[in-house]
Amino acid sequence: MSPYLSSADDAHTATGSRLRAVTLVADLHVMSISDLFADYAAAVARGDRARVATIRLAADPDLLAELDGFNEPAAA
């Protein structure tokens, strides 16, 4: 198995080819969606507005909607 990152999305671009050639998989940090929600919930619980803002700035509109409703009580 190659230790280098392979991204099909960027494979067709010159920049993507150069990036793939020098980026080791071990250099990357990928957060699962459950880790993201746990990090967000922990930041909300401790009142860490800076971390909440950082997560929200990186989220797309669909994820923002999920984050906004993650702690709402379920409908009866």
Which two three-digit tokens encode residue 39?
A: 């990090």
Give 7-44 pLDDT, tens digit per residue. 555 556 666 666 666 666 665 566 678 888 888 999 99
- The confidence score (pLDDT) of residue 50 equals 94
Convert the pLDDT of each residue in 34-71 to its tens digit: 888 888 999 999 999 999 999 898 888 888 888 888 77
Cβ atoms of 4 and 20 within 8 Å: the answer is yes
Distance in angstroms (rounded) separating the CA atoms of residues 8 and 23: 14
Domain limits, the chain: 1-28, 33-69
| Residue-level pLDDT at 61 | 85
pTM equals 0.56
For residue 25, give both structure tokens: 């998989």
